[in-house]
Amino acid sequence: MSSLSRDEVARLAGLARIDLTETEIDRLAGELDVIVESVARVSEIATPDVPATSHPLPLTNVFRDDVPAEPLPVDDALAAAPAAEGGRFAVPQILEED
C-alpha cells in the first residue's frame, strides 16, 4: 500500500479548512501513514472464516429481570426531600409562570 505524502495531507487539510504548519503536516503524514498501514493489515487478516466482532469478549446482560413490584410509598420517597408539598417534591420555581 502506498504511503500518504505530505502533499496529500496538505490537500486534505485544505479541504477540511484546517490550517496546518509545515511541521504539523510532516508529523501528521507519518501518523496517518501508520493508521492506513494498520487498517490494511487488519483487512488482510479479516477473512470470511473469521466472524466480525465489536468486542473482544462476549457481552452478557448484567441487569436483573424487570419484574413489577409494589411501588415505594409516597411518604418514604419524600422522607429525605428538603421540601414537600401535597405529596410532591417542592422545588424553586425557575420559570416566570404560575
Rounded CA-CA distance 88/73 in Å is 12
Residue 78 CB partners (closer than 8 Å, separation 6+): 84, 87, 88, 89
Q: How many CA atoms lie within 13 A of 77 on its CB side?
A: 10
Query: What would the pLDDT profile of 11-40 be if each residue is shown by its tens digit?
Result: 999 999 999 999 999 999 999 989 999 888
CA distances (Å), origin 42, targets 19, 55, 80, 93: 31, 15, 55, 57
Three cell numbers written together for 8: 496529500
Average pLDDT, the chain: 87
Burial code (b: 16+ CB inside 10 Å, e: under 16) for 69-80 equals: eeeeeeeeebee
Q: What is the pTM of this model?
A: 0.45
- Check pLDDT > 80 for residue 96: no
- Check pLDDT > 50 for residue 1: no
Domain boundaries, the chain: 6-45
**Residue bearing cell 409494589:** 70
Query: What would the pLDDT profile of 66-83 be if each residue is shown by its tens digit?
Result: 899 999 999 999 999 999
Fold of 6-45: Histone, subunit A (1.10.20)
